[in-house]
Each structure stands twice: as structure tokens, then as C-alpha cells.
Structure 1
Amino acid sequence: MEKDKRNIQIIEWEHLDKRKFYLLGVCMTMMIRVSVYPFTLIRTRLQVQKGKSLYQGTFDAFGKILRAEGPAGLYRGFLVNTLTLVSGQCYVTTYELTRGYVSRYSSSNTLKSLLAGGSASLVAQSITVPIDVVSQHLMMQQRQGQSMGRFRVTTTGQAPPPGRPRPPPPRLFWGQTRDIVAQIFRADGVRGFYRGYVASLLTYIPNSAVWWPFYHFYAEQLANLTPKDCPHLLLQAISGPLAAATASTLTNPMDVIRARVQVEGKSSIRLTFRQLMAEEGPWGLTKGLSARIISATPSTIVIVVGYETLKKLSLRPELVDSRHW
């Protein structure tokens, strides 16, 4: 009994009531998105800016955006970004199904987590990248028609060209989104919506593949170091941010390149890397890392606690008493 309580049991896909799991999962994911989106926006702007031309760091960017653009400025592109809820559910489903498939051939939790995390990210990114491309361009929009990206939406307050009437006020969501979508399509065609797809895969597949094994590793180590009656949910809540910080640090260089490829319209990962190194040196590869970790820490705690709680709440009735919280 002592051994069972100390070991953190992983709830697998076949243990779940799927209807409960999906319904509660969508609600949980939306709450997480609302809480961490401002830091996602800040991270993207920090990664795209040249040097420290506009923002000195995460908190400087937060203050400047809040003063210049108001609270709404921290949520530019948010409604478009919520469409990635679909990819989130596809990610979870792929992760759990892949774990189940790999378990037929191997009992190694590290191998199952590695392959399942990578596969889940591949599926999710194929859905997410077009949404990310549009939402990131919306993130780059500032007041008075300024933009940090290639495209900008029509806004009030701009002087119209000579002989032309002043443009109408922007439609805050669909109007701006349609402007960006049309400009991306005119400039690059359908391929424009998958700009940075390879860079995204090279960023998020390793990130996901690394996060899950480290998450289980940290949870197991903490379980061995703490009393057997220590709540497993607490250990998992600590393990999540540790794994996120580890994965973020390892994959941040590719994340910087991905953001630049998608927002600046570059077509070559290698040339983007060379330009970044020439302009800013190796430190350029760490841009946005603090914002990434700051956004990942609370979100990962919420995700881990929410996800593990979600799985426990979604357990089939006959298995409820077999899991220690």
C-alpha cells in the first residue's frame, strides 16, 4: 500500500469517460487561453522586433502596450486564436491514442511519452499554423495604423491619400481579420497560411516530445523525495513548470526563428538564422525566453492541475477509488 501511494499512477485513455473528458476539456482550455494570452502576444512582439528597438523586455513591453493600446491591446488576435481549441482537442486525443498504441510494444513510460508528445504536436500544428499566422499578424497591429509585421489593417486616425475619402472605422474583429487574410492570400497565396510550418514543427514537436518525459521524470523524482501521503496533484503541479522551463530553454532558438519566418514573410529557416546571428549574435536566440517561461509557468500549472483533475473527474465509475490524488 505504501508503494502504491508513493507511485504516481498515470491515467490512460481506456480509463476515461470520453464525453465528460471532451466537454470539461474545452471549458478548461478556454480559461487557460484567456489567462496567458497577453504573454503570448508579448513574446511574439519581443521575438520579432529588431534588437530592443521598441521594448526592453517582458515587463517593459507589458507596460508600454497597456499604456499605448489599453487592455484590448494585450488581446489582439485572441478571437482568431481561440479557433486553435480544435487543435487542442486533437492534440490530447492523438497523445492518448499514441500512448495506448506504443504501450502494446513497450512498457517504457519515457518512450511512450516521447513518441506520443511528438505525434500529438505534428497533428496539432498542421491545424494550428494557419490560425497562428493570422493571429500573429493581428498581434503585430498597433494604434494609428502601425504594424510590426508585413501587413497592417486600415484604422482610423490615419491621414488618407490626397483626393481619397477618410476610411471608415475598422470592424474590430472580423473586419481586421478579413483584411489580414486577404493581404496574406494576395501576397503568398494559400502557401502564405503555412509559412513557417516546417519551423513550427521543428519547434513544437521537440518541445512536446521533451516536455512529457521531463514532466513524468520530475513527478517521479519528487514522489521519491516527499512523504508518501503528499498529494500527487501538488507534485504534478510542480513538475509541470519544471518540465516547461526545461523544454522552453531547449527549443527557444527555433521558436524565435519560427516567429520571424511567419511574421516577416521569410521563406528560409537557414537564412533567417544567419540574419539573426549577424544582427544580434547568439543572444538573439534567447529573445522572448523570459516571456515564454513566465507565460508557461502559470499556464502549465493550470494545464497540469486541470488536465490531471479532468482525467480523474472523467474516470470510469468503477476506477474512481483506485487513484490516489
Structure 2
Amino acid sequence: MSAGGAHLKDEGTRRQVVLAGGAAGLISRFCVAPLDVVKIRLQLQVHSLSDPPSHGSAAGPVYKGTWSTMRAIVRQEGITGLWKGNIPAEMMYVCYGAIQFTAYRSTTEALAQLDPHRLPPSAESFISGAVGGGMATGATYPLDLLRTRFAAQGTERIYRSLGGSILEIARHEGVPGFFRGCSAAITQIVPYMGLFFATYESLRPITTQWEQLPFGTSDAAAGVVASVLAKTGVFPLDLVRKRLQVQGPTRTRYVHRNIPEYRGVLDTIGTILRTQGPRGLYRGLTVSLFKAAPASAVTMWTYEHVLRLVQEMELAAEA
């Protein structure tokens, strides 16, 4: 490999990348689903955790922290409550992973054709990650919205099935109802995925030298660090996206019945700053980082290993 492309990995064929990306998203989502539900519940909570508990009313917070939230969900809704919204989420993660890695690979290959005016490796990784994340987010956003609404449901079932939820939203909110908060998602995902891939590609050559890590987890280690740094930087937009996703005629029927009415990204940010202060924009950050680290570790570890497995299987079949 030439010096100009020495930083690029052999990503394999497009079909191999799609298979590996889809598998990575599927497995990662199932592993972190409980933390995702807890994160969404905390992000939608208006009151501070330091306020007295509400005991079911709107006078205070419903949940008081990550582990107590998880215990409360299991006690009130059963263990399956921790996997609410998992069906649309699994569909989203599979499609998202496949689209993201395919777009990332295609953009990386396109940027590699800029010789002799190549961008720095970190810039190429940032651009490729941003393009991949943006395309995957836009294509799978309706599934993301459905995931949030199912996860936000308490003991009252607003939507009883995936098909029923689609018909219900289409009937009462129209097509725009499936894209509430999409602008916040796109604004968030571009810098997030750009920072994630730029950090990941920069750290991966370093972590591969850590021979003491078991089971080839250098990919996972790079994924964890990259995810934590990127997630913290764009978390307020993730919270804004969740608040906007539950707007509409069902807003007062979720487990938090006092979610304010917001009219856009800027209005949401302004209202939160005015009523809850800057800390209000980081509600649920702790569990988000708990989730982001294992999710990215599992995603990148699975992607790299499934990709190698598929390549080896195809080489064996050709032999």
C-alpha cells in the first residue's frame, strides 16, 4: 500500500461491509437495550433528580437515577419493560449499521481518489464518518422515533403493535409526525460520527499494539474511548431530539405526563435553559455514557470480526 493510503483499512467488498455492519448493529442493540430505555426515560424527565419523588404525580421526578430507574421499570412493568421498543430499534440498528458502514467505505474510497491532494487521515475519517452517520440517520429516522415512543410508554399502552403505531401516527400526525426532531438528529449525528470515526481511526493503530488485551479487544477499546468523547460533545442535541420525538397528540400519555410542548430545536433548548438551567441539557448523560461505551465497543468489535469471518468464508468457498 502506498504511503498516501497507508492509514486506510482493507474494508472488503460492499456486500461484506453490509453484512458486517448489519450484524454489528443487531448484536449491539440487543446488548444495550435496557440502558437505552433507562436513558430515554431520564431524558424525558423534566424535574431534577434532587427534587422529592412524585410517586406518580407530576409534582416531581418519577425516577431518581440509573439503577433505581431500572429497578422501578422491572418492578412496575416486568423485565420485558427494559426491552420496550426493541423491535423497531433492532430494525433501525441493522439498517443503520449497514447504511453507515457502506456510506463510510464509499466516501473513504472517493476521498482516496484525491491524490496527490489527499486530506489528512483525521480529516478523511471525520468526513467519511459524518456522511455515513448523516445518511444512516435520515434513512432510519422513523424507526428511531418509534423506538423512543415505545420506550417512553409506562404501564399505559399507547401503541399496541409496530404496525398499529405506524397507522396511528400516519392517521393523526401525517408524514411529518415520523420526522419530529429529525433536524436535531442530523445536526447531532454529523459531528458525532465525524468525531467518533476520526478518534477511532486515530486510536486503533495505538490500541492494536496493546498485546495484553484479551480476545483482540483493541478495536473495542478504541471504540469505547471514541464513543465517550463524541457522545459527551453532542449530548444536548440528543436530549432535544428525544423531547421532540414525543411531541404530538400523545405527549401527555407517556410515563412522564408533564413533558412540555416544544416547537423546534431552538425553542426546546431555550425552554430547558430557562426552566432547568444548563444541567437540564445533560439529563441522562451518565447512563448514556454507560450505554455508549459498551454499544460502540460491541459494534466495532463485531464489525471487525464479522468482516474478517465473511472474508475468510468467501476465500474458503473460492478455494
TM range (shorter): 0.7 to 0.9
1:104 Cα deviation (Å)?
1.3
1:24 Cα deviation (Å)?
4.7
- What is the letter of the counterpart of residue 271 of structure 1? D
Q: 2:22: which partner in 1?
A: 26
Q: 1:255: which partner in 2?
A: 238
Q: Which one of the candidate residues 111, 116, 119 is aligned to 1:102?
A: 111
1:27 Cα deviation (Å)?
3.5
Q: Aligned partners of 1:60 and 1:184: how far apart in 2?
A: 32
Gaps spanning 5+ residues in structure 1: where?
A: 1-7, 147-151, 154-174, 321-325
1:203 Cα deviation (Å)?
1.2
For residues 56-67 of structure 1, what are the structure 2 equivalents within 5 Å?
A: 56-67=64-75
For residues 209-288 of structure 1, what are the structure 2 equivalents within 5 Å?
A: 209-222=194-207, 233-265=216-248, 266-288=262-284
1:230 Cα deviation (Å)?
7.5
Q: 2:90: which partner in 1?
A: 82
Kept in 2, the 8 Å contact 1:199–1:254? The answer is yes
Kept in 2, the 8 Å contact 1:137–1:180? The answer is no
Q: Aligned partners of 1:198 and 1:218: how far apart in 2?
A: 30
Kept in 2, the 8 Å contact 1:256–1:285? The answer is yes
3-state SS, counterpart of residue 217 of structure 2: helix
- What is the letter of the counterpart of residue 62 of structure 1? M
Q: 1:165: which partner in 2?
A: none
1:72 Cα deviation (Å)?
0.8
Answer yes or no: is 1:120 the counterpart of 2:129: no
RMSD: 2.8
Answer yes or no: is 1:91 the counterpart of 2:100: yes
The 1:122–1:296 alpha-carbon spacing in structure 2 relative to 1, beyond 3 Å, is same
Q: 1:296: which partner in 2?
A: 292
1:29 Cα deviation (Å)?
2.8
- What is the letter of the counterpart of residue 256 of structure 1? L
1:83 Cα deviation (Å)?
1.8
Q: Aligned partners of 1:232 and 1:70: how far apart in 2?
A: 35
1:319 Cα deviation (Å)?
10
Q: How many pairs does the alignment contain?
A: 283
Q: Aligned partners of 2:22 and 2:199: how far apart in 1?
A: 25
Answer yes or no: is 1:307 the counterpart of 2:310: no
The 1:114–1:319 alpha-carbon spacing in structure 2 relative to 1, beyond 3 Å, is farther
Kept in 2, the 8 Å contact 1:121–1:208? The answer is yes
Q: Aligned partners of 2:230 and 2:124: how far apart in 1?
A: 17
Q: Which one of the candidate residues 168, 188, 191 is aligned to 1:183?
A: 168
Q: Aligned partners of 1:284 and 1:72: how far apart in 2?
A: 29
Structure 1 range deviating more: 231-240 or 191-200: 231-240
Q: Aligned partners of 1:261 and 1:251: how far apart in 2?
A: 16
- What is the letter of the counterpart of residue 211 of structure 1? F
Q: Which one of the candidate residues 129, 134, 143 is aligned to 2:146?
A: 134
1:122 Cα deviation (Å)?
1.4
Kept in 2, the 8 Å contact 1:203–1:255? The answer is yes
Larger radius of gyration: 1
1:131 Cα deviation (Å)?
0.8
Q: Aligned partners of 1:27 and 1:217: how far apart in 2?
A: 24
1:46 Cα deviation (Å)?
0.7
- What is the letter of the counterpart of residue 58 of structure 1? T
3-state SS, counterpart of residue 161 of structure 2: helix
1:235-282, Cα deviation, whole Å (9 max, x unpaired) = 332121111110011010111111111113433111111111122101
3-state SS, counterpart of residue 264 of structure 1: coil
Kept in 2, the 8 Å contact 1:200–1:255? The answer is yes
Q: 2:58: which partner in 1?
A: none
Q: Which one of the candidate residues 174, 185, 190 is aligned to 1:200?
A: 185
Kept in 2, the 8 Å contact 1:65–1:73? The answer is yes
- TM-score, normalization: structure 2? 0.80
Gaps spanning 5+ residues in structure 2: where?
A: 1-5, 50-60, 249-261
3-state SS, counterpart of residue 56 of structure 1: coil
- What is the letter of the counterpart of residue 121 of structure 1? G
Kept in 2, the 8 Å contact 1:215–1:243? The answer is yes
- What is the letter of the counterpart of residue 168 of structure 2? Q
1:17 Cα deviation (Å)?
4.3
3-state SS, counterpart of residue 50 of structure 1: coil
Q: Which one of the candidate residues 19, 33, 38 is aligned to 1:37?
A: 33
- What is the letter of the counterpart of residue 134 of structure 2? L
- What is the letter of the counterpart of residue 127 of structure 2? L
Kept in 2, the 8 Å contact 1:80–1:131? The answer is yes
